[in-house]
């Protein structure tokens, strides 16, 4: 089933969007070019420190950013935690084999990576990120504070859009593990999304005990086969 690679090129040339549209059908609601541009302009207009734009990564942006940046640091944000709470039916899932994707939910804290964008290229690189993360509008971009070894920095983070049809709160871990183990779509297996996230967090010296426990459950469920 896998075959689509998430790269800067597949984002910009429309391959990624076309694949999602093909699976979800013509009735699915997607962000327009005008909406995307307006959202990027709006988030930049609200920047706490204009000209110093960071983006916080909690999932696949850690190990496959697909955008250009000039600095990368480990970071911790407060007021949000990492959670599998978005259905995936077109990327690492399908209508027949749905998976789950990470988002940020309110409460707690989250360790990840912060990327600093080059000031003159911030709008361009945010457009790439928006094409990837905000295509179906299942996230809500917010400004937060990323606490890094070099100090606190304002950063854009993508929290769950609780009004979106993909949003699925409150799933128990055994249910999450089952969907992660069985989900698969044009971009591959959902379990690999979990495994890659856990592995790259470990490489950075970040331990997410809940994700690691989910990894054990998924492998026991047969997600490693």
Ordered by where they begin, the domains of the chain are 8-221 (3.10.490.10)
Q: Which two tokens stand for residue 71?
A: 């600095």
How does strand 71-88 pair with strand 99-116? antiparallel
Between the CA of residue 119 and those of 126, 143, 157, 158, what are the distances in Å?
11, 17, 18, 20
Asked if residues 131 and 36 have their Cβ atoms less than 8 Å apart, the reply is yes
In this predicted model, what pLDDT tens digit does every residue of 159-196 receive, in sequence order? 999 999 999 999 999 999 999 999 999 999 999 999 99
How does strand 151-160 pair with strand 54-57? parallel
Asked if residues 124 and 66 have their Cβ atoms less than 8 Å apart, the reply is no
| Confidence at residue 71, expressed as pLDDT on a 0 to 100 scale | 98
Burial (CB < 10 A; 0-12, 13-18, 19+), residue 54, is buried
Catalytic residue among 35, 96, 125, 133: 133
| Confidence at residue 45, expressed as pLDDT on a 0 to 100 scale | 97
| Confidence at residue 28, expressed as pLDDT on a 0 to 100 scale | 80
| Confidence at residue 24, expressed as pLDDT on a 0 to 100 scale | 83
In this predicted model, what pLDDT tens digit does every residue of 86-106 receive, in sequence order? 999 998 999 999 999 999 999
Annotation marks residue 121 as catalytic: no
Alpha-carbon distance of 50 to 44, in angstroms, equals: 7
| Confidence at residue 27, expressed as pLDDT on a 0 to 100 scale | 79
Mark the ranges of the chain whose per-residue pLDDT is less than 70: 1-2, 223-225
E strands in 52-166: 54-57, 71-88, 99-116, 139-148, 151-160
| Confidence at residue 1, expressed as pLDDT on a 0 to 100 scale | 45
> In the chain, which residue ranges form alpha helices assigned H by DSSP?
8-12, 15-24, 33-45, 60-63, 122-133, 173-182, 190-203, 209-221
| Confidence at residue 83, expressed as pLDDT on a 0 to 100 scale | 98
Q: Which two tokens stand for residue 21?
A: 């549209």
| Confidence at residue 29, expressed as pLDDT on a 0 to 100 scale | 84
| Confidence at residue 225, expressed as pLDDT on a 0 to 100 scale | 46
């Amino acid at each position: 089933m896998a075959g689509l690679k998430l790269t800067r090129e597949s984002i910009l040339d429309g391959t990624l969007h076309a694949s999602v549209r093909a699976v979800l059908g013509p009735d699915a609601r997607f962000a327009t070019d005008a909406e995307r541009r307006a959202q990027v302009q709006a988030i930049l207009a609200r920047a706490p420190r204009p000209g110093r734009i960071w983006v916080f990564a909690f999932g696949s942006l850690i190990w496959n950013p697909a955008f250009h940046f000039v600095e990368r640091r480990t970071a911790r944000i407060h007021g949000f935690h990492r959670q599998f709470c978005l259905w995936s039916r077109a990327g690492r899932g399908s209508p027949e084999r749905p998976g789950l994707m990470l988002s940020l939910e309110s409460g707690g804290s989250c360790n990840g990576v912060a990327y600093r964008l080059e000031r003159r290229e911030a709008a361009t690189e945010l457009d790439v990120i928006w094409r990837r993360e905000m295509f179906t509008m299942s996230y809500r971009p917010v400004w937060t504070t990323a606490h890094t070894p070099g100090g606190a920095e304002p950063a854009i983070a993508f929290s769950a859009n609780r009004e979106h049809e993909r949003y699925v709160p409150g799933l128990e871990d055994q249910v999450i593990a089952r969907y992660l183990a069985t989900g698969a779509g044009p971009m591959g297996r959902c379990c690999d999304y979990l495994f890659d996230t856990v592995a790259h967090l470990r490489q950075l010296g970040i331990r997410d005990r809940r994700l690691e426990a989910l990894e054990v459950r998924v492998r026991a469920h047969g997600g490693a086969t």
